[in-house]
Structure formats: structure tokens, C-alpha cells
Amino acid sequence: MPALGIGTWQNTDPEECANAVATALEMGYRHVDTAQAYDNEAAVGEGLARAAVPRDDVFLATKVWIDQLGGDDVVASTEESLERLGVDSLDLLYIHWPAGAYDPADTLAAFDDLYDEGLIERIGVSNFEPEQVTEAVETADAPIFANQIECHPLLPQDELRAHCADHDVEVVAYSPLARGAVFDVPEISAVAEKHGVSEAQVSLAWLREKGVTAIPKATSETHIRDNWASRTLELDDEDVSKIDGIGRTERQVDPDFAPW
């Protein structure tokens, strides 16, 4: 899985969304994250089609919304996602939240069926707490490839990351820029200034240091390019410990149905 992808939540203007995806792919991004609930799968598909990049080179992920997690609905809604995205299969399909119609045995059996049929290459979960990760790993026949969780310097998720590592589950960081909150943290600004880069790049490089894949959402070419540049930013031990020492725990995404 490419360690830096582009997120698309709230990128609902079809032209803007297609343009952001195509711009990212042409710049070199090879990982695109969307979801049924973002109401933009068709625009993401348009971006994929527009970019001069072969489908097989792109790691495409979407997520099944919580009202579609009954077995039959998983299959039917995934077929609709494929149709909207204009692709034959997905590289990764997530359970968006362990909520709503989520039932471990029923839901994961349907994900296993999609996996066996080759409609999805990998099964993912999202917003799963440690005990839910263990349960999913024990319930599904196919491996649980990744847990997509909120993760950034203001929510480092040390325990959950360690738990995922123990179960061979990759971590994908959503809201890797804390939806903008990382721009106002003195420790991050100090590291950014030292390297002559943006706070966004520091946050993304810090996640890379932790072995975490990041999917920042960006709309403008400037932001898309700034985030891409984080790939060559090397933080030293002093930078990493400064950021590790921030010691704040601030969640940006916290709906009523969250499991925590």
C-alpha cells in the first residue's frame, strides 16, 4: 500500500474532486481514499479515468457505510460503489465504522465473499478499537489488512497502533493534519521552521516515521504538492521526540456512534 495517499472527504463538488484526484495521480500519488458516505465515488472515478495512469498502478480504497453492513447490503452496495468508481475491483474495502448494522459474523462473511470473488483485494476496518480489531481478525477468514483511524501528532494512538502491529494489521491515518489543528502547535512549527518546510509536511513525515500510511485530504494543487513533498523530509531523533512530547490528546472526528 503506498504510504501516502489522497483523502477526499467533503470534496463533494464533482469537478473539484475529479480534478484533485487527477492532479494527485499525475503528480505521482498512487493511493486514493473515498467512501460511500462521501457522496463522491463517481467524481473520484472520473479523476481516475482522467489521469494518464493505468488503473493497476493505483491503490483504490472505499468504505461501506454503517447502514449497509448487513450481509446482503454489503454485497449490493459494494457493487454500486464499483459501478460509480468505474472499476472492476477494489484494492481495499473498509467497514467504515463498527456501528449501525455492523454484526461481526454477518458483515465479515459478506466481506469474505467479496474477497473470494475477487471483487476486493483486501479487507479493512476503520475506527475499530483494540478489542474490535481482535474480534475481526478472529472472525474473518481473509486477513484484516488495515485499520483506518484518526492519527496525527495530537492523537498519536500508541496503544492502538501497537495492538494493530501485534495482529499484522496496517494502520492508515485519517485526518493526518488533524483537519488543520497541526498548524497551530508550537513544537510542530519549530520543527517546520528548522527544516524550512510546512507544518503539514512535518506531520506527514512524523507519521511515516511511525510506519503509518497517511491520506491527507487536499483540494488545491498547492496543498496536494506540499503534502507530496513530505516524502523526502527526514526528521531526526530530536524532531521526533519533540513531537512525541507534545502530550495532547485531541480528537477531531467523534460522532455519537463512535465505539470509544
Ligand X SMILES: NC(=O)c1ccc[n+]([C@@H]2O[C@H](COP(=O)([O-])OP(=O)(O)OC[C@H]3O[C@@H](n4cnc5c(N)ncnc54)[C@H](OP(=O)(O)O)[C@@H]3O)[C@@H](O)[C@H]2O)c1
Binding flag, residue 155, ligand X (CB under 6 A): no
Strands 144-150 and 123-126: parallel
Contacting ligand X within 233-252 (CB under 6 A): none
CB of 100 to ligand X, least distance (A): 13
Task: Select the residue interacting with ligand X from 117, 159, 193, 220 (CB under 6 A).
Answer: 220
**163: Cα separation from own chain's centroid:** 18
Interacting span for ligand X (CB under 6 A) from 51-59, 111-119, 186-194, 215-223 = 215-223
Binding flag, residue 178, ligand X (CB under 6 A): yes
For ligand X, give the closer residue by CB, 87 or 218.
Answer: 218
Task: Select the residue interacting with ligand X from 200, 212, 233, 243 (CB under 6 A).
Answer: 200
- Residue 43 CB: number of other CB atoms within 10 A? 25
For ligand X, give the closer residue by CB, 87 or 200.
Answer: 200
Binding flag, residue 177, ligand X (CB under 6 A): yes
Interacting span for ligand X (CB under 6 A) from 66-74, 82-90, 210-218, 231-239 = 210-218
CB of 249 to ligand X, least distance (A): 16
Contacting ligand X within 35-94 (CB under 6 A): none
Binding flag, residue 230, ligand X (CB under 6 A): no
What string marks each residue from 157 to 176 as x (binds ligand X by CB under 6 A) or -?
-----------------xxx
Q: 237-244 and 186-195 are packed helices; what angle lies between their axes, rounded to 10 degrees?
A: 160
Q: Are 31 and 4 in contact (CB under 8 A)?
A: yes
Which three cell numbers, joined as nine digits, stand for 89?
475491483
Rounded Cα gap, residues 207 and 227, in angstroms: 12
Binding flag, residue 7, ligand X (CB under 6 A): yes
CB of 229 to ligand X, least distance (A): 9
- Residue 138 CB: number of other CB atoms within 10 A? 11
Q: Are 158 and 127 in contact (CB under 8 A)?
A: no
The b/e string for 152-166 (b: 16+ C-beta within 10 A; e otherwise) is: bbbbbbeebbebbee
Rounded Cα gap, residues 203 and 218, in angstroms: 14
Task: Select the residue interacting with ligand X from 4, 33, 84, 156 (CB under 6 A).
Answer: 33
CB of 176 to ligand X, least distance (A): 5
Give the number of C-alpha atoms closer than 13 A to the C-alpha of residue 252, restricted to the C-beta side: 18
Strands 213-214 and 6-7: unpaired
CB of 87 to ligand X, least distance (A): 17
In degrees and rounded to multiples of 5, residue 138 shows phi and psi of: -75, -25
Q: Which residues bind ligand X (CB under 6 A)?
A: 7-9, 33, 96, 126-127, 148, 174-180, 198, 200, 215-220, 223, 226-227, 253
